[in-house]
Structure 1
């Protein structure tokens, strides 16, 4: 079959046009796929990091991790630098909530926010008016007796009354950097069980705080956020640095487990629970030692 020159030229142009169109479609598909992959990787990278970490480590780099809860008594000698007069860490936390610098939460899950008014209510002491006092007020003031009680001054817990804390942290090994990190997640403040105003006789939680938020918004560049060096005033440190350097005393009360149980729940005997706390600390220390041994 013989085609004229014009027909041959038309066929060639048509083939080139179809080929170009196919290439454009293929390029568009490739571009869409690459864009989708890039966006997915970006979203994965953003969502995978722990939002509560001061120095987050990507999950793919974490070889080992345990969540530990520690109890801290600010009256202990080693913790006195955190509880110096007029610079108590609890005073900083209270002022931070009242002034809207940091948020307070119901517990260390950090899911339920506590308003400033509710926070202040938790710091209000119990009503010590007896039944007899109530009767006397009713006989004297009649139906206005409730208003009289409401107008009476009530005791409030001060910063130095709140000397029991809990710290929840992740202990993790970063295989990328070959380093073990103590990544503090939350700080919880309690009304002590042995406080004279605490008529319930049990430890009562006041509020929990995101340590990352506290460190970044409350500790940094704050002249009152001081770890007081008892030996040398020139060596006072910022509280964020003091926590990074582990300049505090505490003991383990819970290690992550399927039942989310405290050591006192697992070991009904208090002496056994204390021994279990020491054993848990020794186990973590031994694990860290073995990382460098092998």
Structure 2
């Protein structure tokens, strides 16, 4: 009888342990964007890294095929209410679909009169009085309030800049290094003529786990285009899993939360530091296998 009770207690304990582990992983995935979270007990090494992805690069063009741009897939999913956007990669504050639409739009500079011209008494010639007889006498100048300039949405081809946040994790149970993607941020590039600020502007940040779900649910749109074989196009989720894209490191976790170009004093120095950071991580992984 005692043996039976002991066995029952052991089985119950194992069941609770497995359930707790599953719950912990599910909570981790829902909170930080990880698609396949690794339990903390299995992590020997972890480093958080931010990578820039330029979709104009040759290796990244399969994600940016005409009509199948990843930027189009993401923004369309937000419009349909299938994808939640966040203000930044901390994932603590959400954005509405209207706010995302506003972030992915620009205001055209007004071609009308300046405020100084309006204050001086000039009015906009709308052409409404074309052919009308001139009135005698001097009419008082009309004060015309400047009209709000029109707003336009960026084309998907304009939005070629993304930033990926990942944890590089060495799993001691499986004895291998993992790229655990957390978030992807869609950006307005600084080089666009319509972006008058001259700096990259975030449109929205998205959990990687949410993006995988959207990519899988839209296989006819979320395509990684295989330029060598039309019969072997892949889903965008598979492209990220297989790391079929090029990127470069722009930030490695540090006490000041500073980007590499800020740490090393310039864009050129930041590029060199990015290459060095990538080499250091490869060397670290190699050294783990050497001992």
TM-score if structure 2 supplies the norm length? 0.80
RMSD of aligned residue pairs (Cα, Å) = 2.8
CA distance in structure 2 between the aligned counterparts of 1:144 and 1:269, rounded to whole angstroms: 47
1:139 to 120, 123, 140: 123
**Aligned position for 2:209:** 212
1:271-286 aligned at under 5 Å gives the runs: 271-286=268-283
Counterpart residue number, 1:168: 165
Paired position in structure 1 for 2:94: 113
> In the alignment, is the contact (CA less than 8 A) between 1:96 and 1:218 conserved in 2?
no
TM-superposed deviation, 1:286? 1.2
Q: CA deviation at 1:132?
A: 2.3
Q: Please state how far the C-alpha of 1:37 moved relative to its aligned partner.
A: 11
Are the counterparts in 1 of residues 86 and 93 from structure 2 also a CA contact under 8 Å? yes
**1:164–1:189 Cα contact (<8 Å) kept:** yes
| Cross-structure match for 2:130 | none
Find the counterpart in structure 2 of residue 50 from structure 1: 28
Indicate the SS of the match to 2:153.
coil
SS in 2 for 1:79: helix
Cα separation, 1, equivalents of 2:102 and 2:266? 35
CA offset digits 1:139-171 (Å, max 9, x no partner): 35968846xx34x64322111110010000011
What's the counterpart of residue 79 of structure 1? 60
TM-score normalised by the chain length of structure 1: 0.80
Match in the other structure for 1:243? 240
Aligned to 1:177: 174
Structure showing the higher helix proportion among its residues: 1
Deviation at 1:129, TM superposition (A): 1.1
Aligned to 1:6: none
Deviation string 1:50-70 (CA, Å, 9 cap, x unpaired) is 322211111001010000000
Deviation of residue 275 (structure 1)?
A: 1.1
Structure 1: 5+ residue runs without aligned partners? 1-26
Q: Which range moves more in the overlay, 99-108 or 268-277?
A: 268-277
> Residue deviations 1:150-197, cap 9 Å, x none?
4x6432211111001000001101111112110110000111111010
C-alpha distance in structure 2 between counterparts of 1:132 and 1:144, whole Å? 9
Question: Which residue pairs with 2:131 in the alignment?
Answer: none
Greater Cα offset, 210-219 or 240-249: 210-219
Quote the offset at 1:291 in angstroms: 2.5
Q: Aligned partners of 1:144, 1:114: CA distance in 2, in Å?
A: 36
273 and 43 in structure 1: CA distance in 2 versus 1, 3 angstrom threshold: same
Partner of 1:10: none
Output the CA distance in 2 between the equivalents of 1:43 and 1:175: 21
CA contact (8 A) 2:181 2:208 kept: yes
- Offset of 1:47 from its aligned partner? 3.7
1:72-129 Cα shifts (integer Å, max 9, x gaps)? 1000011000000000000000001000001011111111111111111112212401
